[in-house]
Amino acid sequence: MSNLSGSTVSRKKKQAPNCFAAALVLALLGGFLGCTTIYVRTGVYHRVQKGETLTALARSYGVSVQDLAEINNIEDSTQVKPGDRLFVPRARRRPATVKPLPKGTPEEKIVFERGRFVWPIRGRLTSRFGMRNGSRHDGIDIAARPGTDIRASADGRVVYSQRLRGYGNLILLKHSDDFFTAYAHNSKNLVKKGRKVKKGQVIGKVGSTGHATGPHLHFEVRKGRAARNPLFFLPKV
Ligand SMILES: [Zn+2]
């Protein structure tokens, strides 16, 4: 039995800047359905109790281990310790109990694809993917001097290259396997919509356009319309 603590997060109407790239991807995929109706940002916080494991939590809440791992930046399930506060995406309420796994059940593997993308810039990671002050941060922030070259993190095609509220100058690339990457707050976009790009090719320059407190790159990885944790797809630094 667990004494589950936490609070519910529900943001049905919030027009967060993060929302726009999601809406955009949807639009590009053919059906603009409106951000607010698709991206209902629900979830609950869960305080880990003694004996609870990531897999047991995932099963009790009905979410995937992978989603739990990515949104909480957990790279190894043995990192999870009693007292940790985890965000459980999409969950509406806490289960009455977190059922322990049957004896001998292995923890589900967390999957990484570290070679899929390369770092678009070098710089200090200033913000991770996941919950930030009660709302979702759908990418990572990398600080760099204004004007630093931004490079395509994989071969692909430019599907968006213009200003977008909140994001400033934004570039969106489409890659194989329904992956997208987004590059925001650029001082300059150097590629046009429709153009093919090669991995490592310079596509823009770092800036602080849109809602940005200083020069940095906001970088997103999406699989279809789902935001994924970029750190699970980039080489380890
Ligand atoms: Zn950001």
Regarding whether 143 and 65 lie in a shared domain, the answer is: no
Confirm if 172 and 158 have CB atoms less than 8 A apart: yes
Domain that holds residue 161: 124-232
Residue partners of 60: CB distance under 8 A and separation at least 6: 95, 97, 98, 99
pTM for the full model? 0.85
3-state SS, residue 130: strand
Ligand 1 midpoint to CA 123 (Å): 14
pLDDT band at 165, cuts 50/70/90? confident
Distance of CA 212 from the midpoint of ligand 1 (Å): 8
In a domain, 111, yes or no: no
The pLDDT, as a whole number, for residue 6 is 42
**For residue 24, what pLDDT band results from cuts at 50, 70 and 90?**
low
Distance 127 CA to ligand 1 centre (A): 7
Whether 112 maps to a domain, the answer reads: no
Residue 15 has phi, psi (to 5 degrees) of: -100, 65
If asked whether residues 129 and 85 sit together in one domain, one would say no
Cβ neighbours of residue 210 closer than 8 Å, sequence gap 6 or more? 17, 163, 164, 165, 166, 167, 168, 169, 170, 184, 185
Q: Give me the pLDDT at residue 73, please.
A: 97
Residue 37 has pLDDT above 60, yes or no: no
222 shares a domain with 160: yes
On whether both 138 and 60 belong to a single domain, the answer is: no
Ligand 1 center–CA 22 separation, angstroms? 14
What whole-number distance in Å separates Cα of residue 12 and Cα of residue 158? 30
User: Given pLDDT bands bounded at 50, 70 and 90, which one contains residue 22?
Assistant: low
- Confidence check: pLDDT of 11 > 60: no
Contacts of 72 (CB under 8 A, 6+ apart): 86, 87, 130
Determine the distance separating the centroid of ligand 1 and the alpha carbon of 139, expressed in angstroms.
6
Task: Give a yes or no: residue 14 inside a domain.
Answer: yes
Residues 70 and 131 in one domain: no
- Looking at every residue in the chain, the average pLDDT score rounds to 86
Asked if the model's pLDDT at residue 134 lies above 90, the reply is no
Overall average pLDDT of the 109-122 stretch:
97
Cα–Cα distance, 218 to 89 (Å, whole number): 21
CATH number at residue 21: 3.10.350.10
* Domain final position from 65, 89, 113: 89
pLDDT, tens digit, 9 for 90 and up, residues 168-197: 999 999 999 999 999 999 999 999 999 999
| 82 lies in the same domain as 162 | no
Give mean pLDDT, residues 105-118. 95
How far apart are the CA of 179 and the centre of ligand 1, in A?
Answer: 18
Q: Which amino acid is at 20?
A: F
Structure tokens at 100: 């322990």
Q: Note whether 191 and 151 are within 8 A (CB).
A: no
Same-domain pairing of 148 and 76: no
Domain count, the chain: 2
What's the 46 CA to ligand 1 centre distance in angstroms?
24
Q: How far is the CA of 126 from the centre of ligand 1 (A)?
A: 9
Provide the token pair at 161: 């290259």
The confidence band for 3, taking pLDDT boundaries of 50, 70 and 90, is very low
> Is 114 within a domain?
no
- Residue of higher predicted confidence among 13 and 121: 121
Q: How far is the CA of 218 from the centre of ligand 1 (A)?
A: 4
Helix (H) or strand (E) holding 56: helix 54-61
Q: 14 and 63 share a domain?
A: yes
Q: What is the predicted pLDDT for the residue at 174?
A: 97
> Cα of 185 to ligand 1 centre, how many Å?
9
Least confident of 3-17, 87-101, 188-202: 3-17
